[in-house]
Amino acid sequence: MIVAPLSGVIKNMEDVPDPTFAQKMMGDGMAIEPSEGKVVAPVAGEIVQIFPTKHAVGLRSESGIEVLIHIGLETVALDGEGFEAHVKQGDKVKAGDPLVTFDLEFIKEKAASHITPVVITNGDALEVFEKTEEENVTAGESPLFQAKMKSEQDSEKPGDKGAEDQQAERQQPQSSNQGGQYQDEAKEIVDAVGGLDNIMAATHCVTRLRFVLSDEEKVDEEKLKKMDLVKGQFAANGQYQVVIGQGTVDKVYKAMVKETGIEEASKEDVKAAGGRQQNALQRGVKVLADIFIPILPAIVTAGLLLGINNILVNPIFTDESIIEMFPSWSGIADMINIIANTAFTFLPALIGWSAVKRFGGNPLLGIVLGLIMVHPDLTPAGDFAQGKGETWNLFGFQVNQLSYQGQVLPVLVAGWVLARIQVWLEKRVMDSLQLLIVPPVALLVTGFLAFILIGPVTYTVGTWITDGVVWVFEVAPIIGGLLYGFLYAPLVITGMHHTFLAVDLQLIGSTGTTFLWPIVALSNVAQGAAVFAIMLAAKDEKVKGLAGTSGISAMLGITEPAMFGVNLQYKYPFYAAISGTAIAGAFITFQDVLASSIGIGGLPAPLSIQSGVWSFIIGIVIVLIIPFVVTYFIAKRKFR
């Protein structure tokens, strides 16, 4: 039995937001969303690898089962900060012995995710492998896997060789280099990624080689797929990543450096080079994603609660609303409305916190800046448009006392200015005076600039954007809905869909509703319908399992496992899904379906629809039927 190495909530491997683990390139397993920063040995055995950055541990049980514990995602970039290792390679451990402790809050803040995959990397050598059905586990106590090695006649005795050598032999049974391990393979990989001239920087983490390439179009993916050593490959964040496996990847990297003359690069070097490889649009999209993704839970929660409030106050099922039929419910509806509206009322404070943090400033000052811009003494934009607003007289210069409630651009730009001023001052003010000088000066200067220059200019730009999007959908609603429905999922692949989150919020802040988000919700359902068709048509049990779990996630608004794990792999399910979304998008836009907020995508989405609920439900039916039927009949022919 292999016990849980961390305490926390169990996640399916398919739901891990990293292709290496979601697509099980390293092997099968489970993931844990940790509730505390402590990793213990899941089984008695030997530590076969602990990476220098201490973010990953590999161990081999006494029976030969190899386990990889990868703490968080993209944590290699932290270069060991926040981690403390309590073991070293070669140490013998018992189940429950401490391996690594880490600062959980630091990992949540700095890493891509704190979700921790626990992978069996030699699953092909197992006779029995069963996963726990528990939802919550306790480190060192709760069973995670039941696993048993094959008999000795099918698998070499684990004690005969080191774990890394066994793994290397499984990955490359007949290495062509007895004198120099992985030299030929390293040359082949370099050649497959476009040759030395195409490599700007290269490094590795515990599982994969990471390249920054001049031109990713030069990569020969078919050649990489044919290599026994390579378990998978993908591009992300300006890096091209080739998955090799723990232990082996270090040897391949050393062979590559030795044989090809590639200069060794640090993780930060590669990260920086990858950032430079992205064009201005990609960098801008990444900045928006870094700002809006952390505040998304608050916005989605507010949207869900507003959906519940909509059910109570609007006549949906009868001619009268629930609070009209049952007046005693009106107080509950009012309280729900207050709770739900808070995130949107103080949206600039949320954006200010996240933006200033992203730009390198003090996030608490970002919160204060956002609250300043929605101070109750300021005049709402609606009243200002009716001529009810007041102004400040600054030496004869009139400045509008305008509230930026619900606005996105003003606080984004102001947050950047605040962070730049703070960083500039911190470099020039002595430590003993920083608390007295840096925050007050930074906030005061940014506040004046926000009301005098930044706010008026960006408010006007935001109004132009809102009016432009509204105009397009008013003039040609069918074409607008068709195009947005068809393009949204491809935008998810590139990450550019995050830009439309800002547009949605701007629409809600300016008009009170959004016609874009309902199409997003339909896109989620469409991807889920297509992947469920694959689940029914496929004969491979692994494909069925991956499609089933990722389909459920898509129906609840998380489409990445379905898209990247299944639909894009086969292509036609993806095309069927975006075609269905385009048709449904055209229909609901023509029917003037509007959402009062950004809620939970997928099947729960009707809760956030303010007008046109039944038309939206018809849209859901369209994206359930078209992608499913098209995908199923094509899949039945292809899976024969």
Q: Which helix (H) or strand (E) holds 170?
A: helix 163-171
Distances (CA, A) of 394 to 179, 363, 375, 391, 401: 80, 29, 19, 9, 12
Distances (CA, A) of 452 to 267, 352, 436, 448, 633: 42, 18, 25, 6, 61
Cα separation of 309 and 2, whole Å?
A: 46
> Could you give the CA distance from residue 316 to residue 611 in angstroms, rounded to a whole number?
9
Of 22, 39, 125, 205, the catalytic one is 205
* Sheet with 126-131, side-by-side order of all strands: 2-3, 143-149, 126-131
548 contact partners, CB below 8 Å, separation of at least 6: 532, 535
Residue 356 tokens, joined: 């200033």
Hey, which residues does 3 pair with through a beta bridge?
Answer: 143
Dist. CA 352–CA 410, nearest whole Å: 10
Beta carbons of 298 and 343 less than 8 angstroms apart:
yes
DSSP secondary structure code for residue 65 in this structure = -
* DSSP output for 507-539: HHHHHS-BSSHHHHHHHHHHHHHHHHHHHHH--
Centroid of chain to Cα 327: 43
Instruction: Find the helix or strand (DSSP H, E) in which 51 lies.
Output: none
Q: Among residues 368, 393, 369, 389, which one has the least CA distance to residue 378?
A: 389
> Which tokens sit at 587?
């229909």
Q: Is 205 among the residues known to form the active site?
A: yes
SS3 66: strand
Q: Residue 226 forms beta bridges with which residues?
A: none
Q: 465-495 burial string, b = 16+ CB within 10 Å, else e?
A: bbeebeeebeeebeebbbbbbbbbbebbeeb
Tell me which amino acid residue 516 is: L
CA–CA dist 247, 202 (Å, integer): 17
Q: What are the φ/ψ torsions at residue 617 (nearest 5 degrees)?
A: -65, -40
What is residue 262's DSSP assignment?
A: P
Q: Are strands 397-400 and 391-394 parallel, antiparallel or unpaired?
A: antiparallel
Closest C-alpha among 510, 513, 530 to residue 522: 530
Backbone phi and psi for residue 315, each to the nearest 5 degrees, phi listed first = -75, 95
Cβ-based neighbour number of residue 82 at 10 Å: 22
Q: How far apart are alpha carbons 205 and 168 in whole angstroms?
A: 17
Amino acid at 159: G
Burial of 314 (0-12, 13-18, 19+ CB in 10 A): middle
318 by DSSP, 3-state: which?
Answer: coil
* Residue 8: its H or E element: strand 8-12
Provide the annotated active-site residues.
205
